[in-house]
């Protein structure tokens, strides 16, 4: 059984499992799925000021913080006990494309060529990590939620703003990966 869990699951198993999260949450108490709102909940708990944005009954949403804690603990358990020892398979076209930018080591899920301290403190690293982190945070707040909240929960409950947000998430991802990332990696 443990070997089955350690193997990559096909889309037709993982997709429905993620999709079934929505009706399960709705049936178990009209809960909405999303990760980015947890920052607001944590701030409301840690900084009990009279700031209107943080002045709400966060205790109704405390389950969501436990959900994120479960994701964190699950990641630790997976990395510690369920690691798949098979080499990471990367499509040859992607290998060829990334070799132009000096990314050649695929020994881990995070290529050591760009996930290291030297890269982080380079111009490319600062643009990608600091700039990218800011844009993700700003975009999440501006869109009123993250990709998981809009694309999984919002679309399944037929919310128009979630459809618009998801379309723009996809457009932004395509522009970033095909136009901007090659420019940043070429610096």
CA of residue 29 relative to chain centroid, distance: 25
Query: In the prediction, which pLDDT does 20 show?
Result: 86
Both tokens assigned to 30: 């009209």
Query: In the prediction, which pLDDT does 1 show?
Result: 66
Rounded CA-CA distance 113/98 in Å is 11
Query: In the prediction, which pLDDT does 35 show?
Result: 81
Which segments of the chain have a pLDDT < 70?
A: 1
The candidate with the shortest Cα–Cα distance to 101, out of 7, 177, 163, 15, is: 177
The candidate with the shortest Cα–Cα distance to 19, out of 157, 146, 145, is: 157
| The model scores a pTM over 0.85 | no
């Amino acid at each position: 059984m443990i070997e089955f869990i350690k193997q990559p699951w096909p889309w037709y198993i993982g997709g429905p499992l993620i999709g079934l999260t929505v009706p399960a949450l709705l049936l178990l108490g009209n809960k909405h799925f999303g990760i980015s709102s947890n920052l607001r909940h944590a701030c409301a708990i840690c900084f009990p000021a009279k700031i209107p944005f943080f002045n709400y009954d966060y205790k109704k949403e405390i389950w969501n913080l436990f959900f994120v804690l479960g994701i964190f603990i699950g990641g630790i358990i997976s990395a510690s006990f369920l690691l798949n020892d098979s080499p990471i398979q990367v499509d040859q076209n992607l290998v060829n494309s990334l070799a132009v930018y000096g990314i050649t080591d695929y020994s881990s899920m995070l290529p050591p060529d760009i996930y290291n301290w030297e890269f982080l403190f380079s111009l490319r690293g600062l643009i990608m990590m600091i700039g990218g982190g800011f844009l993700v945070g700003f975009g999440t707040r501006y869109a009123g939620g993250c990709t998981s909240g809009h694309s999984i929960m919002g679309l399944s409950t037929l919310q128009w703003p979630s459809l618009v947000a998801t379309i723009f998430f996809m457009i932004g991802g395509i522009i970033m990966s095909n136009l901007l990332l090659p420019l940043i990696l070429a610096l």
